[in-house]
Amino acid sequence: MAADTPVDILQKVLENEILQSTKVVEEHLDAEIQKLDQMDEDELERLKQRRLEALKKSQQQKQEWLSKGHGEYREIPSERDFFQEVKESKNVVCHFYRDTTFRCQIMDKHLTVLAKKHIETKFLKLNAEKSPFLCERLRIKVIPTLALIKDGKTQDYVVGFTDLGNTDDFTTETLEWRLGCADVINYSGNLMDPPFQSQKKYGTSFTKLDKKTIRGKIYDSDSDDD
C-alpha cells in the first residue's frame, strides 16, 4: 500500500479539525437545548422578559444616537460646532477636508456608507481651510485626515491613504477595519485579518497621535510637496 503523500496528510488533518469543530458546536447546541428543556414556565417567562428589556434598551440607545446626529455623514459649519458635537458623543470620526482635494471626495463616499452602518459613531466633516485653530491644535498637516475621537479626546488619525493601502481604490471594508483598529466603531470582523489582499504590500504602520503641535502649511495627501 502506497504511503500517504504530504497533500493527503494535510487533507486528513484538515478533515479532522473540521470534524472536531463540528462536534464542539453540536455539543454546545445540545447543552443549550437541554437547558431550555429543563426550564419551567416561570424561568422561561423571566428569560423572555430579560430579552425584551435588552431589546427595548437597544432601541432606546439607537434613538438617542439618532437624535444626536448619528446615522448620517454630515458637514459641520464651524470649529465651535466641532466642540459641541464631540462633547455629546462617545465616538466621533471627523474628516478634515478641502474642496479642491480629489481624495477627499473618495473619503466622503466611504464615510457616507459607514455612517449608516455604524450608528454608534458620529461621522462628521469639517473644511480645513475654515478651521485653522483646530488644524493647528490637532496637528492636521495632510488632507484628507480623519481625527478619531473617543470620550472627547483625539486618540488616533488616519492621514491620507497611507493606512488604507496607499491607493485611491481602497475598499469601504478597509477603512472600516482601520476604524475598528482604533476602537472608534463596533467592528465585528477580525482585526488580525485585514481585508486587503497583501499585508506585506500595503503595510500596517498607523499614524499615531503626537502631543507636539506642528505649525505650517497643510498639504494634499497626493501632493509631491514634502
pLDDT in tens, 160-193: 999 998 999 999 999 999 999 999 999 999 998 8
Stated length of the chain? 226
Q: Rounded to whole angstroms, what are the CA distances from 99 to 79, 103, 127?
A: 17, 10, 8
Mean predicted confidence (pLDDT) in 122-135: 96
3-class SS letters over the chain: CCCCCHHHHHHHHHHHHHHHHHHHHHHHHHHHHHHHHCCCHHHHHHHHHHHHHHHHHHHHHHHHHHHCCCCCEEECCCHHHHHHHHHCCCEEEEEEECCCCHHHHHHHHHHHHHHHHCCCCEEEEEEHHHCHHHHHHCCCCEECEEEEEECCEEEEEEECCHHHCCCCCCCHHHHHHHHHHCCCCCCCCCCCCCCCCCHHHHCCCCEECCCCCCCCCCEECCCCCC
Average pLDDT over residues 132-139: 94
| Model confidence at 13: pLDDT above 80 | no
What cell does 108 get? 466622503
The answer, yes or no, to whether residue 201 has pLDDT greater than 50, is no
In the chain, % of residues over pLDDT 70:
76
> Cell digits for 121?
459613531
What pLDDT, in 10s, does the model give residues 74-93? 999 999 999 999 999 999 99
**pTM of the model as a whole:** 0.69
- pLDDT tens, residue by residue, 40-52: 777 777 877 888 8
Calculate helix-pair angle for 102-117, 172-181, nearest 10 degrees: 70
Place of cell 475621537: 149
